[in-house]
Amino acid sequence: MAKKKFVVGCFDEEDVLFPAVKKVRTAGYKIKDVYTPFPVHGLDQALGMRETSLHTAGFIYGITGTITALGGISWVFVKDWPLDIGGKPHFALPAWIPIIFELTVLFSAVGMVLTFCYLCQMAPFVKKHHFHPRATDDLFVMVLECTDSTNTVEAEAFLTNAGAIEVKTEIAEDGWWFGRYDKDTKLFEQKAVIA
């Protein structure tokens, strides 16, 4: 994993955040992400992010569940071990629909949770850098990714002009790492920039 330099700007108003996002993008800065305490409607579009394909994955998992359930039950009750249950036909579809439905929901739910964790790089003991603790409380935290040619002083001034109430430059781990926060203090110390 590589360490990178970031410029962080904190906003406390949605009305300021949206024009700021627009200004920052027009100015050519690369936004790594905007961390918000709650889902903000329309922010994805403002950031120009592509729509998530999580729901497509969910649909595929659901269909897999449907086929698994239908295939499994019909193999057991029609081919492998046919039983006469209350004089019903062996292929008793209406009676199976609740189970097929349950398996569809189970597959899509578990599959989507795991996919979501994978996409967000979340798992037990996987750690990522927090740019500002108040991102989970009351601040919208915009993080700009810097390149070698980025003038951080200029970028900070730009964010302040755009309405940020707090700005700072940070060198932080870009990806994730295994570990525990209480034993990882040395990771937060500033080190030389690699990228």
Partner 1 sequence: MASSIKLKFEVPSKMKTWSYALMGIGIVSLIVGLITKGMSHDHHEKDIFLGTLMYNTIYWLMICNTAMFFISITTMAWGSWQISFKRVSEAISSMVPIFGGITLVILLYVAFSGSHIYHWTDSEAVANDPILKGKSGFLNLKFFTIWTVLIIGLWSLLGWRMRKLSAEADKAAMNGETGHKFIIKNTKIAATFLVWFGLTVGSTMPWIWMMSIDAHWFSTMYSWYNFASTFVAGLCLIALWVIYLKNKGYLEYTNQEHLHDLGKFIFAFSIFWAYLWFAQYMLIWYSNQPEEVIYFKHRVQGAYKGLFFLNLIINFICPLLIFMTRPSKRNYTLMTFMSVLILFGHWIDFYQQIMGSISKDHVTLGWLDFGILSLFVGMMIFGVSKALASKPLIPMYHPFLKESIIHHT
Binding site for partner 1 (CB under 8 A): 41-42, 51, 55, 59, 86-87, 94-95, 97-98
CB 88 to partner 1: min, Å:
8
CB 142 to partner 1: min, Å:
20
- Residue number, 63 or 113, with CB nearest to partner 1: 63
CB 4 to partner 1: min, Å:
33
- Residue number, 64 or 169, with CB nearest to partner 1: 64
Q: Which two tokens stand for residue 34?
A: 């905007």
- Residue number, 28 or 87, with CB nearest to partner 1: 87
Cβ-proximal residues to 91 (8 Å cutoff; 6+ apart), any chain: 74, 77, 78
- Residue number, 55 or 90, with CB nearest to partner 1: 55
CB 102 to partner 1: min, Å:
13
CA–CA–CA angle 184, 116, 70 (5° rounding):
140
- Residue number, 83 or 192, with CB nearest to partner 1: 83
CB 41 to partner 1: min, Å:
4
